[in-house]
Structure formats: structure tokens, C-alpha cells
Amino acid sequence: MHTLYNSIIQNSSASSDIKEIAKKILSGGRITTDEALVLYQKAPLGLLGMLAFAVKESKTGKKVFFNRNFHIEPTNVCVNNCRFCSYKKPQGDAQAWELSLDEILHQVKRYKDSHATECHIVGGVHPDRDIDYYCNLIREVKNIIPGIVVKAFTAVEIEYMVNKAGLTLKAGLEKLKAAGLESIPGGGAEIFDEELRAQICPEKTKSAKWLEIHRTAHQLGISTNATILYGHLETYAQRIDHLNRLRTLQDETHGFSAFIPLKYRHENNSLSNIGEVPLLEDLKNYAISRIFLDNFPHIKAYWVMSGLETTRLALQYGADDIDGTVNDSTKIYTMAGVEGKPVMTVEQIVDLIKSENLIPVERDTFYNIIKEYND
């Protein structure tokens, strides 16, 4: 620690309070919410990058993880009306879809011999589809590709289907687990601040309920991820409050596998007038997320959302995972204005990671190592 401290702190132009926070971080200490706010407001970006990279190295060395995965999006019809959403379309709209079970399974069959290890299922909260429908879907996916991990349904989807079935949360999750659900993605968290949440997604699952769903999943042995939606109307203090609620739950359950900062994208939604935050803000957010969430094993730069160049840079600002191959199977961010088709080959992912002098590691959903590309 002392060599690193001397090299990046003593010669830094940062203020004395920033240097003290940096020393604490490099000593393995936990920063407070007040200290996180100081970093957001005052810390030089280069220093944040060095600190975040040091934290990342202490956890996973030079490894950067990815997997072979594909997405299934059963529908973009949704009962909610989130102001930031470009994905939801009303029934009958030309851009709306409601895939039948046969249509979904036809998509799944395309990946039967692809060596994919994860099927990621998320979509709109459809008013007419219940927990039995989704349990059957999970079973059918596993019938087609035995051994594949089904990571499915945001907390928002789960709350609706459990309530529709008249089940308790625990009973509903147990039913989904029995059908083959093994992991839950982190979507629907958005921003936990109740006042802001009421502005941007008033009908959506409340913050406390989102946390309760993930707590219950962890207690049942279902691993989950966590997200934040940043770059819209939130303040730094609201970002930190969000991170702190996640860190507190992780202290209790240790059930989160990864944290994924999701950037607000502004096209085709009712917040479009506010634009998007610049790249420097993205990198700052990655770095502080890595530093603050000291009990999260992984920070993911979801390349589909970030774009390849931002993802590449994020690997120097604390991220150690970039998600997976995806195979052009999601429309959530392309409908919000992200350019290009969301597909990368394993070779392209490996090359991207190696270009940053880091070690590509193919993983499964639970971060078990399948192969290291370190030659």
C-alpha cells in the first residue's frame, strides 16, 4: 500500500481531505457516504481511476470476466409507464410484441449448440401473464438446453406475477426456483430515493420492496445482481444513498454477485430533453461504485449499454466484467438510441480485454471459471 500511496497520492494535486480518503481506501478501509460525496464532488478523475483499479486488483487481480449468453424478451407490453423507458409499447402498437411460447422456444432452439451457459429472460410486465406461464417457460427452456442457467425476471416482474397469483413473496420465489430459476438480474432498481422514484417511475415496485425481493431470493439461495439507473434527474447524494442501501443489504445476505451501473439513454422517451451525461461522468460513476461497494465481488460494465469504447475505458476504472456475447438478442438499449447490433463473438471479447493488458476469463453465471485466455 505504501508504495502505491506514495506514487499516486503524495505527488497528486488533490486536496488534503481527498488524500486522506485515498489513504483509507488503499488501506482497505470502508468509506462513508460523506466521503463518497467528497469523491464525487472533488476528486480528480485520474486519481479515482487509480484508486478504483487498485480496489479491483485486490479482488480479482487482472482478470476480466465474460460469459456466453443470450437474451429472451417475451414482450415489451407493460403495465408500468416509466418516464425514462423507450422499450414499453402499448398493445397494438407497431413496435409492440407479445411472443407466444412457441415463438420464444423457437428462439431458444437457435442456441442449442452454441455453448451458451446462460439464458437471460426479462421483458415488460405483461398484464395477462402469470407465474404459471413463466414457470412453464423456464422448464421448457431447460428441456431444450439441459444444464443452461436461467437468469430471469426483474424484481418488478416478480412482484407482479407473485401478487397476481395471490402468493407470498417467499412462496412465489420458491415456486420459480422449483421450476428452474437460478439467478435474478438486477433490473428495476433504477434509483431508490423515494421522492425521485415517484417522479420517474411512480407505478413501479417501491424501493423497499425491490430490496425485500432480493433479500428473500438470497435467503432461498438464488443469486442476484443489482443495478442503478444514473444520469437522469438524480443528484450525487441520491446515487450514494442508492449504493449505501445495496451495501447494507449485501452486508446482511452476501447474495449479490455483481453491480451494474446503467446509463440513462435519452432517445424515444419522455425525459429526452435532459440529454445524457458525458463519458467522464460514466467513468467517475464506475470508479466510485467500485470503491464504495467494497462487499460486492464484481462491477460490470454492460457493453450493450455502454458501447465498446466506454466499456474498454471502464476496465481501467474498476469494472472487472463486461457481460457476454448477447447475440443480438436484446432491444432494450437499441430502442433508446444505442447504435449498433448487440453482438460480440468470444474472439472479439477476448481481444477487447487483452487490448487493456488484462486477462480475459470466461465464466458461468456464478463466476465459476470456464477458461482463462492468458496465452
For 119-169, what is each residue's pLDDT tens digit?
999 998 899 999 999 999 999 999 999 999 999 999 999 999 999 999 999
Alpha helices in 203-235 (DSSP H): 207-219
Q: What number of other Cβ atoms are within 10 A of residue 245's Cβ?
A: 18
Assign residue 189 a region (left: φ > 0; alpha: ψ between -120 and 50; beta: otherwise).
Answer: alpha
Using 50, 70 and 90 to split pLDDT, how confident is the model at 95? Answer: confident
At residue 102, the pLDDT reads 94
- Asked whether the CA dihedral 172, 176, 177, 178 is positive or negative, the reply is positive
Distance CA 99, CA 104 (A): 6
Q: What is the 3-state secondary structure (H, E, C) of 270-329?
A: CCHHHCCCCHHHHHHHHHHHHHHCCCCCEEECCHHHHCHHHHHHHCCCCCCEEEECCCCC
At residue 150, the pLDDT reads 98
At residue 336, the pLDDT reads 42
Q: With 50 as the cut, is the pLDDT of residue 112 above it?
A: yes
Taking every pair of Cα atoms in the chain, the longest distance, rounded to a whole number of angstroms, is 63
Contact 188, 205 (CB under 8 A): yes
The three cell numbers of residue 194 are 423515494
Domains of the chain: 2-57 (no CATH), 62-372 (3.20.20.70)
Mean pLDDT for all residues in the chain = 91
Model pTM greater than 0.75?
A: yes
At residue 338, the pLDDT reads 45
Distance CA 59, CA 55 (A): 7
Q: With 90 as the cut, is the pLDDT of residue 267 above it?
A: no
Q: What is the pLDDT of residues 67-91, one digit of tens each?
A: 999 999 998 888 878 787 777 777 8
Q: What is the mean pLDDT of residues 174-186?
A: 98
Q: Is 83 exposed, middle or buried (0-12, 13-18, 19+ CB in 10 A)?
A: middle
Distance of alpha carbon 217 from the chain centroid? 17
Q: With 90 as the cut, is the pLDDT of residue 272 above it?
A: no
Closest CA to 316 of 284, 360, 342, 361: 284
Q: With 60 as the cut, is the pLDDT of residue 323 above it?
A: yes
Distance CA 121, CA 105 (A): 12
Q: What is the pLDDT of residues 325-338, one digit of tens each?
A: 986 545 454 444 44
The three cell numbers of residue 365 are 453465471
Distance CA 132, CA 249 (A): 29
